[in-house]
């Protein structure tokens, strides 16, 4: 058998690659994560009773914008990392910018607040449950995103897992925003961020084992 025949034999019966496979799997994961987190909020925690009034305030949408920015950045990185040998892309710039902006705004709010009120502003009324709630709400998205990545071909498993965890955590935080009564920026900069950090760290730790192919 000559070289040309051997190549033809290897190539025979090979199905074309679905170029939209990455987008399809990740889209399904995002939809499942959002729906799962939202349903958990409705079924277990309930929507805040003054949601309509809160949504009329610009600060409510600023609060949504924080995890949404992290979600978009993580989604961009996951889409890149799901392909073998591809760099993570510019999504990390958006993540860093969003966190930095919230921290700067938090420092400003604390500086202009009376000293005896600063601790109360950071803790709010729900700091004891915020991180746990976000972590629990991230479970559907975590499972869905890891399912999507497992069916693709990431090579940087630790970073892929971390970005997948951040994507799940940010979706959970958006859903939790429709329940959470906290409207102070320093609260988000501490407790929302810690809530999203938990699935991010778990994703990094589990990525090397669960995403191996």
pLDDT digits (tens, 9 = 90+) for 68-119: 999 999 999 999 999 887 888 899 999 999 999 999 999 999 999 999 999 9
> Per-residue pLDDT for 12 more than 80?
no
User: Are 30 and 75 spatial neighbours (Cβ–Cβ below 8 Å)?
Assistant: yes
Q: What percent of the chain has pLDDT over 90?
A: 79
SS3 assignment, position 60: helix
SS3 assignment, position 169: helix
pLDDT digits (tens, 9 = 90+) for 115-147: 999 999 999 999 999 999 999 999 999 999 999
Using the CB atoms, write b or e for 39-62: b if 16+ within 10 Å: ebbeeebeeeeeeeebeeeeebee
CA–CA gap between residue 113 and residue 125 (Å, rounded): 17
Q: DSSP string spanning 166-181? A: HHHHHHHHHHHTTT--
């Amino acid at each position: 058998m000559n070289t040309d025949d051997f190549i033809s034999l290897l190539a025979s019966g090979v199905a074309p690659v679905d170029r939209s496979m990455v987008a399809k799997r990740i889209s399904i994961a995002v939809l499942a994560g959002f729906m799962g987190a939202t349903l958990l909020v409705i079924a277990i925690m309930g929507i805040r009773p003054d949601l309509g009034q809160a949504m009329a305030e610009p600060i409510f949408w600023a609060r949504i914008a924080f995890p949404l920015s992290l979600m978009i950045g993580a989604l961009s990185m996951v889409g890149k990392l799901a392909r073998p040998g591809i760099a993570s892309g510019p999504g990390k710039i958006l993540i860093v910018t969003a966190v930095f902006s919230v921290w700067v705004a938090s420092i400003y709010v604390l500086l202009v607040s009376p000293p005896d009120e600063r601790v109360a502003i950071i803790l709010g009324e729900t700091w004891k449950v915020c991180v746990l709630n976000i972590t629990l709400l991230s479970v559907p998205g975590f499972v869905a995103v890891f399912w999507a990545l497992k069916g693709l071909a990431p090579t940087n498993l630790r970073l892929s897992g971390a970005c997948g965890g951040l994507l799940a955590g940010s979706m959970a935080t958006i859903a939790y925003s429709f329940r959470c009564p906290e409207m102070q920026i320093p609260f988000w900069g501490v407790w929302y961020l810690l809530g999203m950090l938990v699935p991010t760290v778990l994703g990094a730790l589990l990525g090397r084992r669960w995403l191996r192919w």
